[in-house]
Amino acid sequence: MKPATADTEAGQSALAQRDLAQRALAQRDLAVVWHPCTQMHDHEFLPMVPIQRADGAWLTDLAGQRILDAVSSWWVTLFGHGHPRIRRAIHAQLDRLEQVMLAGFTHEPAVLLAESLLAVAPPGLARVFYADNGSSAVEVALKMSFHAWRNAGQTAKQRFIALTGSYHGETLGALAVTDVPLYRQTYDPLLRQPLWVPSPDAYQAAAGETADDYAERCADALDAVLAEHGASVAALILEPLVQGAAGMRMYSPRYLKRARAACDRYQVHLIADEIMVGFGRTGTLFACEQAAITADFLCLSKGITGGFLPLAAVLTTESVYQAFYAEYATQRAFLHSHSYTGNPLACAAACEVMAMFREEPWLQQNRHTAALMSAALAPFRQHPQVGDVRQTGMIAAI
């Protein structure tokens, strides 16, 4: 049997080797990789964290230290890392078909996923167009709305309405309807300018004004803009119930009801960007359910594959679909594509996610956890240094 000192020295040596390996990989990274949403200069003194594996809610770095993935890797890992059901679904699909272009071809996972999404989506949504990330889904919805009106002969409908504080992505079309200066300001000269309407963020309500009252007031402002500009507006785009990047701004479902009614009144499409809030995060599978409305476009991504692979989907109505359905020579087709549109592996993962929602009580568990979160937040509501405590389902902010 080795002396304790020998075991200690061996352990220390192993730790030192892992630490060296971690630092070496971080240095190699700095030499070649440009990271997203990052000032790379910061990593000259704030070391990058190399991750070698993940399980459940935990990441493990090269030194063997576990790190809580409290941000769900940008809100994508719905069920934690490495969920066995999704792993098995991807492995099974990998043995059959890993990729085929979706123009001129189809495959079972793409069809099954579309069927599964439409079966649980708000009523009236009838078609699914695939993309590969959230920003792309928003681009699809914006282009499709504009093009549908054009095909219908309403060529004046070229503008969009967005909420102050909105975030819809960082590609040029999505960024044009984003109102977060950190992302938008530099590129503003490149962007088409939307019409801005006030966010119904309940924190902005006047003293004594309820969230519902403030939502009504903001809906009145939307009505006024549509009354003046409705003939030139293609769509209103919004994040239902929660504006994430603006600071988890939350608002009453009443605004969604009023927005849907106003869009109908002025013949304007409604685009619901549920990329962040979709798949149970607000307490219902889709946030729009809480207002009992159906948007003309429902944008989904992030958690759609449980965080395993990139995928996005835009759900739309039969009316929008029919605006493009004609002989090719009419040039009415929606000529938008991605190389990995409807990737079989990603669709197989998403099909398993949908099966998990059908077969397991994830939404009930979310509601139970949300109640526990609410109870834990209660002491902060009376704290003299806290201006606001807000919560919508599994999303909470102080």
Question: Is 181 a residue whose pLDDT tops 60?
Answer: yes
- Burial annotation 159-178 (CB, 10 A radius, 16+ → b, else e): bbbbbbbbbbbbeebbbbbb
Position 141 scores a pLDDT of 99
Q: Measure the CA–CA gap between 234 and 231, rounded to whole angstroms.
A: 8
Please name the residues in contact with 74: beta carbons below 8 A apart, sequence gap of 6 or more: 302
Length of the chain: 398
- DSSP of 94-126, one letter per residue? HTT-S---SSS---HHHHHHHHHHHHHSPTTEE
Question: Is 5 a residue whose pLDDT tops 80?
Answer: no
Q: Measure the CA–CA gap between 181 and 201, rounded to whole angstroms.
A: 18
Report yes or no: 132 and 146 within 8 Å, Cβ to Cβ.
no
pLDDT tens track for 124-138 = 999 999 999 999 999
Give the single-character DSSP code of 193: P
Question: Is 1 a residue whose pLDDT tops 60?
Answer: no
Position 7 scores a pLDDT of 63
pLDDT tens track for 292-310 = 999 999 999 999 999 999 9
All domains of the chain in start order, with CATH: 4-70 (3.90.1150.10), 84-359 (3.40.640.10), 362-397 (no CATH)
Q: Measure the CA–CA gap between 129 and 302, rounded to whole angstroms.
A: 16
Beta bridge partners of 159: 233
Question: Is 367 a residue whose pLDDT tops 70?
Answer: yes
Short-list 346, 338, 351, 344, CA closest to 131: 338
Position 16 scores a pLDDT of 79
Q: Measure the CA–CA gap between 5 and 9, rounded to whole angstroms.
A: 6
Short-list 249, 259, 158, 268, CA closest to 211: 249
Give the single-character DSSP code of 139: H
Position 17 scores a pLDDT of 84
Q: Measure the CA–CA gap between 362 and 374, rounded to whole angstroms.
A: 18
Q: Mean per-residue pLDDT for 199-210? A: 95
Token pair 């507006």 is at which residue?
Answer: 233
Q: Report the chain's mean pLDDT, rounded to a whole number.
A: 96
Question: Is 11 a residue whose pLDDT tops 70?
Answer: no
Q: Helix axis angle, 344-359 relative to 84-94, nearest 10°? A: 140
Q: Measure the CA–CA gap between 117 and 78, rounded to whole angstroms.
A: 16
Neighbour-count burial of 61, counting CB atoms closer than 10 A to its CB (0-12 exposed, 13-18 middle, 19+ buried): middle
Question: Is 2 a residue whose pLDDT tops 60?
Answer: no
* Residue 232 binned pLDDT confidence (cut-offs 50, 70, 90): very high
Q: Measure the CA–CA gap between 67 and 73, rounded to whole angstroms.
A: 12
Position 15 scores a pLDDT of 75
In one-letter notation, the amino acid at residue 311 is: L
Question: Is 312 a residue whose pLDDT tops 90?
Answer: yes
Give the number of other CB atoms < 10 A from CB of residue 302. 27
- Burial annotation 76-110 (CB, 10 A radius, 16+ → b, else e): bbbbebebeebeebbeebeeeeeeeebeeeebebb
* Residue 19 binned pLDDT confidence (cut-offs 50, 70, 90): confident
For 130, phi then psi, to 5°, come to: -95, 150
Q: Measure the CA–CA gap between 130 and 161, rounded to whole angstroms.
A: 24
Position 6 scores a pLDDT of 61
What tokens appear for 195 in the block? 């019409």
**224: left (phi > 0), else alpha (psi -120 to 50), else beta?**
alpha
* Residue 3 binned pLDDT confidence (cut-offs 50, 70, 90): low
